[in-house]
Structure 1
């Protein structure tokens, strides 16, 4: 290990299993003190019997690291505030926030009910916003007191948020919102010494090993491209002081591959300086579409 997070305090949400667990262990291995958040719920958001956050804390401590468990609901104001408070009261500071918590309630749109929409948008999007808000308020106060931090936020989007995924309208919309939130936060918080980036990972977790069972199965031998541990090195680097100057970016990461996403860019355009009729607008639109590249397909589309 390189120790690039030596002395830093890192809070990771949804860190009891899967990607969050891998991130927490990787940060601890690089010298960070970790606040391991997990509500301990099932894939559909219902309460589970055990405390996965406590298990991860035990793993970190068994390896000689420092960690503390946090079981609050980060999609509530009190839960998010208590996450930041736990870091400050336990370790005296907070340097990095990794927003990772989430679950699925997959349905085709015509079968998706309002509660399933609200539940997924709540945990993925609101569950990013509230911890970010409370961490940012702390860092703003530090900056105004003359202690400008080298603070980092790493948000978790998805390929579904970038391209969409059939059967995951709620999840795709929430993860697209995470990208927009990342861009706004990066612009607003730069003056306080805070960098904000997002990842769109592909890895084997409880959420993917059933939905994409065939592609997520571990190989019999060789490199396990879908292991969640493959994603964590980039997250650790983004959460470290070594990533100085990198903010407002989205990285797709899978196995040994890292891709910087370009995002929305203006393509072919036409301005006549006057209002068009609907027929003229349609003719212009078709001409411009002929000049534009074909969009990438939605995941799961035939």
Structure 2
């Protein structure tokens, strides 16, 4: 790109060091994407079809699976298509849109994980008052709060980035449009935009992490006070799946925060792969295989589908 020429397209470099394996990477992306869709849609369909799962925890889990599907959809199809076709360009508007939805859905997920930790806190610390405290109205309010927080934390930085001029280099060393790398390509001063973006992400990340940590401190304190070992084990099992996802999600992002700037690009790719491929892929298995009610619902759904198919064959 010549100096003074306004950029209308960006070039996503993807994985330059793995240039000869790009076709294999694309196939892996597409295979993972199909598995993510199948697993999370299965979780959503089970929760919606089984009345025994009409509870706050599964309401939040259903929304978490919904977010996982759309976070993955905003990144993987474009990345896989670019690797397969060899055309790694992305338009200016598509780049901003991809960047917006990736961070919007990611922020919503962090706040939703905090809401799920509050649900586990009420269930373990106040079991007798759980149905009254975690009513449908509160669940909807927590869900609305997570979407509102994600929207407010994303819309202002996105508007500021959209107003930046890009007139020199158009190469983004990533497999999708990352706002941090996008700002580095601007031919204007970006300190204020970077500060606002950093503050917004820090408030969401560390604010929701603080709420989650506080909930689990009370949960652990309550579990340790239970009289029997079986009671403590049962109480811990009810929140172990959620705790696993919390560790994966927050751990990856905090790891990115403490990395030196010289390793930022490679670390960013690793975190993005974890958040857009690995975590959405294993979430359905973590919640299904470690939750007895989900396993029971899966067995009932499988038996029901088998009976239906037999009846159709008999006709």
Q: RCO greater where, 1 or 2, for CA within 8 Å and sep 6 or more? A: 2
- TM value normalised by structure 2: 0.26
Question: Which one has the bigger strand percentage?
Answer: 1
Question: Which one has the bigger helix percentage?
Answer: 2
- TM value normalised by structure 1: 0.27
